[in-house]
Structure 1
Amino acid sequence: MKKTLHHVFSFFMAFAVLFSTLSFTVESHYCGNRLVDTAVFTKVKSCGMGTSASIPVKKGCCKDKVELVKGQDELKLNSSEALDFDQQFGLATLMYSYGSLFKGMSKLVFPHKNYRPPHVICDIIILGETFLI
C-alpha cells in the first residue's frame, strides 16, 4: 500500500512539473468583431475574406490575435552544496543513526519459531478443580 501510494504521488508530482513548465500559444482569427477560429497547437484557419479577388473587402477587417501562455522557465534545483558543513554533518549523522535502527531486523533469530506445544488431551485445571480466585 505504501509503495503504491508513493508511485501515485510521484506520478502526480511529475505531471505537476510537466504542466507548470509547458508553454503554448493560443491563436484566434477575427473577421470584423466575429470570432472565426481558435487554435492551440496548430495554425488558425482564416475566413478567406482577404484572399478572394472577386469580393470587395474592406481593408483591415480581419485580424489575428496571438496569446502566449508562458510556463515556468526556471526550476530551482537544490543540491547538497547549498548546506553548510554543520548541516551536512547533522544530516549525515541523522541518516546513519536512523538507518542503523532497522538493520538486521530481518535476520533476527526466533528460538521458539519451530516450537510445537504438546497436544492437550484434557484440561488439567478443570480435572483437579483448582481455580484462582
Structure 2
Amino acid sequence: MKEIFQKISAILMSAIILLSTISFTVDAHYCGDDLVDLAFYKEAKSCGMEQIKSTKDCGDKVEKKSCCTDKQIVLEGQDDLKDNTIKLSFEQQVFIISYAYSYHNLFQNLDASITSFIGHPPPLLDKDYQVLYETFLI
C-alpha cells in the first residue's frame, strides 16, 4: 500500500511541475458574438468579413467599425525553476561510492557454512601421532 501511495504521489508531483512550466497561447476569432475559430499555439483563421479599405481618394472617409474581434489568451509558464545539480569532484565521487558500498556490505548476513578449504583435501599423515605419543581421548 505504501509503495502504491508513493508512486501515485510521485506521478502527481511530476504532473504539477510539468503543467506549471508549460506556456501556451489560445487565439479566438469572434464575428459579432459568435465564436468562429479557436486555435492553440497559432493565429485563428478569420471569417473573411473584415473591413475592406477603399482605394478612392475622397476627401471625407467614412469608416465602419468592424464586427469581427480577435482575442488572445497567453498563459506563460514558470521559467525560474531552481536547478539542483551538485557538482562533485572525482575524489568526492570515489569517496561516496566506496562509503555506500562498505556501508551496504556491513549489514549483509554472512553464511557461517562458508569455508575456504572446501576444494582442498587434508594432508596425508605419515605417522599416527596418537599411537606414537600414546595420547588417547577417554
Q: Return the TM-score normalized by structure 1.
A: 0.49
Q: Return the TM-score normalized by structure 2.
A: 0.47
Larger radius of gyration: 2
